[in-house]
Amino acid sequence: SAVISQKPSRDICQRGTSLTIQCQVDSQVTMMFWYRQQPGQSLTLIATANQGSEATYESGFVIDKFPISRPNLTFSTLTVSNMSPEDSSIYLCSVEGLAGVSYNEQFFGPGTRLTVL
Amino acid sequence: GIQVEQSPPDLILQEGANSTLRCNFSDSVNNLQWFHQNPWGQLINLFYIPSGTKQNGRLSATTVATERYSLLYISSSQTTDSGVYFCAVEVGGTSYGKLTFGQGTILTVHP
């Protein structure tokens, strides 16, 4: 199966700053997604990262706060902008369209654990 | 949007016991996955099972799509089974690729 990596694995940031999280897959995939998991909660989809075009955001998430890039079929970034303590969460990328598995089965990266002080 | 309900919310077992986790969903789905989130936060794929029955070692899962529920069976539980189990579904259509997660079942297995 594919290897999905995220950087950084964890970070502690000051409020008002921004953090960019990277997601790298070792094979080309059709779809990439970003999810947020707030403390003690389930996962919520932030957006679909579209290759070569603007991301598609879910209700409650906006581009100014969570800008996303996807320059190619193996890489995406999520930026958490102007952070506040409420942004403290685990951020996970997921991919779909891996070879050898069902077309819409999703696999997740290891996550980035963000703490905002 | 689709509603996903998991039960029970918490489950405490002694090592060696069996358990059944349930996932109910409110609409037809074209993807249903079970995940195990370990204490480090990593989501491990257990089953891709929009319908039918699958088995993998001590774990098995059944989805009855017409009745909109899925069951995850864990037999002879081990302490390493502890963690949070999530069910996630995808409706398809304009929601293509969007996984909606249940609230999870927190499983604790004592030695």
Q: Quick: pLDDT tens for A34-82.
A: 999 999 999 999 999 988 889 999 999 999 999 999 999 999 999 999 9
- CA B15 remoteness from chain centre: 20
Mean pLDDT within B56-83: 97
Q: Give pLDDT, residue A39.
A: 95
* Share of residues in chain A with pLDDT > 70 (%): 99
Could you tell me if A92 and A42 are in contact, meaning their C-beta atoms sit under 8 angstroms apart? no
Dist CA A5 CA A76 (whole Å): 11
Strands A75-80 and A19-25: antiparallel
- Testing the interface with B: which of A41, A43, A70, A98 to mutate, by most B Cβ within 10 A? A43
Mean pLDDT within B7-32: 96
- Testing the interface with A: which of B43, B47, B98 to mutate, by most A Cβ within 10 A? B43
> Is residue A85 predicted with pLDDT exceeding 80?
yes
Task: Show the tokens assigned to B97.
Answer: 């690729």
Q: Give pLDDT, residue A101.
A: 86
